[in-house]
Structure 1
Amino acid sequence: MTTELARINRVCRYALAFVFAFHGLVPKILWLSPVEVAWVNAHHLPLPPALFAAVAGVFEIAIALAIAIRPRVLWPVGVAGALLLALLADAMIFAPGLFVQAFNPATTNIAALALCYAIYASQPAMRSPTR
């Protein structure tokens, strides 16, 4: 059972890392999404949207790497969970129109939060000497 839980933990970590890496790289760094620009503009931040998105993208990729390559450490998963909750609440306030779109913040963030939970629940298997 411990080996199976360790496998589940790894799969969930890689899936969560993929979510953060993809969302950090594709709509923020490679192709700046109009949704990202509108989100930054809605907050009236003193930075150009492209710069803010790039910095946020690099941060998301760093979180993704920490989740994927540090299997015995939970803090990156906790940071990811906190960000997912904060960004979900933020989208409800600043971009409620996104919630009627396919693959909206509710569906993606709740699914990613479920991955966070599965990682926490299976984490003891990652510390077991029988692994």
Structure 2
Amino acid sequence: MSRQETLRVARWCRWMLAFVFIYHGLVPKLLFLSPVEVQMVEASGLGLNAQVISPLAGAAEVLLGLLILSGWFGRWPVVAAGFGLVGLLGYVALFAPMLLIEAFNPVSTNLPVLLLCLLICHLERTADS
């Protein structure tokens, strides 16, 4: 694969990764607070207000998606997204494991998106060398 093709595929992966973060920040947290989001915040047992925490998390996800899309800060937002996905999966497994067997659960959503993070890093590193 040529350098141009490698960068084009990496760009497509960035667009899809950014879409996932922007969508998941905007729709179930900012526009329509999902009951599952509320359940996940309450499951921590820290007494946090999901009406505040979820929109803040949604805004952070949208910002991260925009950073991924723009390419600002290179691969760091992609790496941050990868760590966030692993952390969220661990959080759900620890505090709300019943969500792991639901439809469109963190296993079936986070792992493919984590693969996008790995692909972006690999493709961009390959194109740089």
What range describes the TM-score normalised by the shorter chain of this pair?
A: over 0.9
Q: Secondary structure at the match of 2:33?
A: coil
**Once the 2 structures are TM-superposed, how far is the Cα of residue 7 of structure 1 from its aligned partner?**
0.8
Asked whether 1:40 is paired with 2:37, we answer no
CA distance in 2, matches of 1:45, 1:33: 19
Match of 2:68 in 1: 67
Match of 2:86 in 1: 85
Consecutive unaligned residues of structure 2, counting only runs of 5 or more, are none
**Once the 2 structures are TM-superposed, how far is the Cα of residue 50 of structure 1 from its aligned partner?**
1.1
**Residue 36 of structure 2 aligns to which amino acid in structure 1?**
V
1:44-123 correspondence runs (5 A): 44-70=45-71, 73-123=74-124
**Once the 2 structures are TM-superposed, how far is the Cα of residue 72 of structure 1 from its aligned partner?**
6.9
Aligned residues: 128
Contact 1:3 1:125 in 2 (8 A): no
CA distance in 2, matches of 1:45, 1:17: 30
**Residue 19 of structure 1 aligns to which amino acid in structure 2?**
V
Give every structure 1 segment of 4 or more consecutive aligned residues whose post-TM-superposition deviation is greater than 6 Å.
none
Change (3 A) 1:9 1:15: same
Q: Which moved more, 1:36-45 or 1:77-86?
A: 36-45
CA distance in 2, matches of 1:92, 1:116: 21
Q: Secondary structure at the match of 1:123?
A: helix
Q: Secondary structure at the match of 2:98?
A: helix
CA distance in 2, matches of 1:127, 1:72: 15
**Once the 2 structures are TM-superposed, how far is the Cα of residue 87 of structure 1 from its aligned partner?**
0.2
**Once the 2 structures are TM-superposed, how far is the Cα of residue 51 of structure 1 from its aligned partner?**
0.8
**Once the 2 structures are TM-superposed, how far is the Cα of residue 127 of structure 1 from its aligned partner?**
4.5
CA distance in 2, matches of 1:29, 1:126: 36
CA distance in 2, matches of 1:102, 1:41: 20
* Higher RCO structure, 1 or 2 (CA under 8 Å, sep 6+): 1
Q: Output the aligned Cα RMSD.
A: 1.6
Contact 1:10 1:71 in 2 (8 A): no
Identical-residue share of aligned pairs (%): 43
Give me the TM-score of the superposition, normalised by structure 1. 0.91
Change (3 A) 1:98 1:47: closer
Consecutive unaligned residues of structure 1, counting only runs of 5 or more, are none
Contact 1:39 1:95 in 2 (8 A): yes
